C-alpha cells in the first residue's frame, strides 16, 4: 500500500530577520557611532551582524583625512559601505544633531568609545581634563536629543586615575542622563576593533587600555540637576505613608485632561502624588511613559522593563544622593501601589469590554 507522504510546509527563515547580538548591541538597533577613529569598531559590529544597514558610523575628520591618518582607514570604510553601512564625515560630537544627515534622526544606541580632546601634555593637567570634560558634556547634550524611546548612550572610558576625574556620571547627570550601568570593557569581546589615539603624529597607534568601563546612560527629561539638599527637602515635603492601603476595586474617575498614567495614580488613591516634582514621579516617569506608549504591543517585555526601572531607580539613589536604602524602599512601595492599581484598572476595563460584548450579543444580563 502506497504511503501518503504528509506534505510539509517549508519554513523559510529570512536570515536578515534573525537578530544578531554582540555584547550590548543588536542587529535590530539603529546605532550611531561617533568619533570612530579608523572605523574598526563599526566594522566589528557590522561583521557580527552580517550587515551594516543599521549602522551610521561617523568621524570628525573628512574622508581624505581618515585615509591619511589610519593605514586601515580606506579598507575599513570600503568594507563598511559594502555591508550597507552609512558613513558620515565632519560629524562634531558636540553638535551632531545639527549635521545635515543627522537632523531629526533618532537612534537606539549612540556610542562614543574613548572620547578624547587630543594630546596636549600630561593627562593630569587640570586644563586638559576640563577640555575632555567639555567634549563629553557637550556630546551628552547633543546625543540626548537623538535618542529613541528606550535608547541609550554608551561611552567607553578608562576608569583609573586621572581618567576617573572626568566624572562621566556627573556629566551625564547634568544633562538629565542617568547612568544605568558601568560594565567592564574587554577589547577581546570586539574582534577586529583597534583602539586608536586618534590625534597627533601617532594617531594610528593604540593607547594602553588598562581598566575600562562602558558607561550606559538613559535620558530622563524630568531629571534636573538639583542640589542634593533640595532633593531631600522635596522628598520630605511629599511623604508616602498614606499609600499603603490601596483599595483593590475603585471606579476610575475620569480625568481626561491628564495623561493615562496620572489617572492610574489617581486611581491608586494618590491624588496628592500627582506632583511632577515628587520622587516617585521623577524616578519612574520614563518607565511609566514607556509602559503607556508600548501598551498592548506583543514585542515588549514588560517584566524586563520593570526590572530595569527598579534597577535604574536604585542607581539614581546611589549616585545622586547616597541616601539610606529605606528611602528607596518607600519609593518602591509607591511603585508597587501604582502597579496594583493599574492592574485593577485594566481588569475593570476588560470586564467592561466583556460586558458590552455580552449585552450586544443579546445574551441577557452579564453575570
Ligand X SMILES: C[S@@+](CC[C@H](N)C(=O)[O-])C[C@H]1O[C@@H](n2cnc3c(N)ncnc32)[C@H](O)[C@@H]1O
Beta carbon nearer to ligand X, 132 or 273: 132
Please, what is the minimum distance in Å from the beta carbon of residue 203 to ligand X?
8
| Position of minimal CB gap to ligand X | 198
Beta carbon nearer to ligand X, 183 or 238: 183
What part of residues 10-49 is at the interface with ligand X (CB under 6 A)?
34-37, 41
341-344 LR contacts (CB < 8 Å, sep 24+) = 341/246, 341/250, 341/264, 341/265, 341/267, 341/268, 341/269, 341/270, 342/264, 342/267, 342/268, 344/248, 344/249, 344/250, 344/267
Q: Determine, following the binding rule CB under 6 A, whether residue 172 of this chain makes contact with ligand X.
A: no
Q: Determine, following the binding rule CB under 6 A, whether residue 151 of this chain makes contact with ligand X.
A: no
Stretch (H or E) spanning 349: helix 325-360
Beta carbon nearer to ligand X, 36 or 108: 36
Cβ atoms within 10 Å of 337's Cβ, excluding its own: 21
**Which one of 25, 70, 114, 290 is in contact with ligand X (CB under 6 A)?**
114
Q: Inter-axis angle of helices 279-293 and 325-360, to 10 degrees?
A: 40
Phi and psi torsions of 248, nearest 5°:
-80, -20
240-246 LR contacts (CB < 8 Å, sep 24+) = 240/280, 240/330, 240/331, 240/333, 240/334, 242/269, 242/272, 243/268, 243/269, 243/270, 243/273, 243/333, 243/334, 243/337, 244/333, 244/337, 245/269, 246/337, 246/340, 246/341
Q: Are 58 and 111 in contact (CB under 8 A)?
A: no
Q: Determine, following the binding rule CB under 6 A, whether residue 57 of this chain makes contact with ligand X.
A: no
Please, what is the minimum distance in Å from the beta carbon of residue 221 to ligand X?
24
What part of residues 117-136 is at the interface with ligand X (CB under 6 A)?
117, 135
Please, what is the minimum distance in Å from the beta carbon of residue 154 to ligand X?
12
Q: Determine, following the binding rule CB under 6 A, whether residue 115 of this chain makes contact with ligand X.
A: yes
Query: Rounded to an integer, what distance in angstroms lies between the CA atom of residue 162 and that of residue 149?
Result: 34
Tabulate helix, strand, coil % of the chain (nearest 5): 45, 15, 40
Beta carbon nearer to ligand X, 93 or 266: 93
Q: Determine, following the binding rule CB under 6 A, whether residue 163 of this chain makes contact with ligand X.
A: no
Beta carbon nearer to ligand X, 48 or 240: 48
Please, what is the minimum distance in Å from the beta carbon of residue 330 to ligand X?
42
Count of chain residues binding ligand X (CB under 6 A): 20
Q: Determine, following the binding rule CB under 6 A, whether residue 92 of this chain makes contact with ligand X.
A: yes
Beta carbon nearer to ligand X, 41 or 49: 41
Q: Are 146 and 61 in contact (CB under 8 A)?
A: no
Beta carbon nearer to ligand X, 214 or 263: 214
Stretch (H or E) spanning 43: helix 40-49
Beta carbon nearer to ligand X, 92 or 333: 92
**Which one of 60, 147, 153, 168 is in contact with ligand X (CB under 6 A)?**
60
Query: Rounded to an integer, what distance in angstroms lies between the CA atom of residue 70 and that of residue 38?
Result: 6
Query: Rounded to an integer, what distance in angstroms lies between the CA atom of residue 179 and that of residue 176?
Result: 10
**Which one of 23, 94, 231, 277 is in contact with ligand X (CB under 6 A)?**
94
Q: Determine, following the binding rule CB under 6 A, whether residue 316 of this chain makes contact with ligand X.
A: no
What part of residues 192-251 is at the interface with ligand X (CB under 6 A)?
195-199
**Which one of 45, 88, 93, 291 is in contact with ligand X (CB under 6 A)?**
93
Q: What cell was used for 41? A: 569598531
**Which of these ranges, 99-107, 115-123, 230-238, 347-355, lies near ligand X under the rule CB under 6 A?**
115-123
Kindly list the residues in this chain that would bind ligand X in the complex (CB under 6 A): 34-37, 41, 60, 92-94, 113-117, 135, 195-199
Amino acid at each position: 500500500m502506497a504511503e501518503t507522504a504528509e506534505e510539509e510546509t517549508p519554513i523559510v527563515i529570512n536570515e536578515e530577520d534573525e537578530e544578531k547580538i554582540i555584547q550590548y548591541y543588536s542587529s535590530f538597533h539603529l546605532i550611531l557611532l561617533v568619533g570612530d577613529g579608523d572605523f574598526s569598531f563599526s566594522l566589528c559590529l557590522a561583521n557580527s551582524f552580517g550587515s551594516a544597514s543599521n549602522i551610521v558610523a561617523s568621524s570628525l575628520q573628512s574622508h581624505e583625512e581618515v585615509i591619511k591618518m589610519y593605514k586601515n582607514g580606506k579598507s575599513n570604510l570600503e568594507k563598511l559601505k559594502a555591508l550597507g553601512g552609512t558613513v558620515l564625515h565632519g560629524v562634531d560630537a558636540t553638535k551632531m544633531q545639527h549635521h545635515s544627515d543627522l537632523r531629526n534622526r533618532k537612534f537606539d544606541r549612540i556610542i562614543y568609545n574613548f572620547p578624547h580632546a587630543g594630546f596636549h601634555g600630561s593627562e593630569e593637567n587640570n586644563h586638559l581634563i576640563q577640555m575632555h570634560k567639555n567634549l563629553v558634556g557637550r556630546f551628552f547634550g547633543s546625543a540626548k536629543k537623538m535618542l529613541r524611546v528606550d535608547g541609550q548612550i554608551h561611552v567607553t572610558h578608562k576608569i583609573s586615575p586621572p581618567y576617573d576625574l572626568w566624572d562621566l556620571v556627573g556629566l551625564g547627570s547634568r544633562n538629565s542622563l542617568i547612568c544605568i550601568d558601568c560594565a567592564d570593557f574587554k577589547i577581546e569581546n570586539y574582534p577586529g576593533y583597534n583602539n586608536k589615539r586618534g590625534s597627533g603624529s601617532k594617531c594610528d597607534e593604540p593607547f594602553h587600555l588598562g581598566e575600562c568601563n562602558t558607561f550606559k546612560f538613559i535620558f530622563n527629561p524630568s531629571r534636573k540637576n538639583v542640589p542634593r539638599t533640595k532633593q531631600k527637602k522635596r522628598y520630605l515635603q511629599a511623604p508616602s505613608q498614606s499609600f499603603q492601603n490601596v483599595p483593590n476595586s475603585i471606579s476610575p474617575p475620569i480625568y481626561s485632561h491628564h495623561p493615562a498614567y496620572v489617572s492610574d495614580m489617581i486611581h491608586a488613591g494618590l491624588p496628592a502624588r500627582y506632583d511632577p516634582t515628587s520622587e516617585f514621579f521623577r524616578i519612574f516617569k520614563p518607565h511609566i511613559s514607556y509602559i503607556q506608549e508600548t501598551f498592548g504591543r506583543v514585542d515588549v517585555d514588560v517584566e524586563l522593563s520593570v526590572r530595569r526601572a527598579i534597577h535604574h531607580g536604585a542607581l539614581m539613589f546611589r549616585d545622586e544622593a547616597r541616601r539610606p536604602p529605606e528611602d528607596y524602599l518607600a519609593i518602591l512601595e509607591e511603585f508597587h501601589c501604582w502597579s496594583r492599581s493599574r492592574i485593577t484598572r485594566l481588569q475593570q476595563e476588560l470586564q467592561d469590554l466583556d460586558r458590552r460584548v455580552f449585552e450586544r450579543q443579546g445574551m441577557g444580563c452579564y453575570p
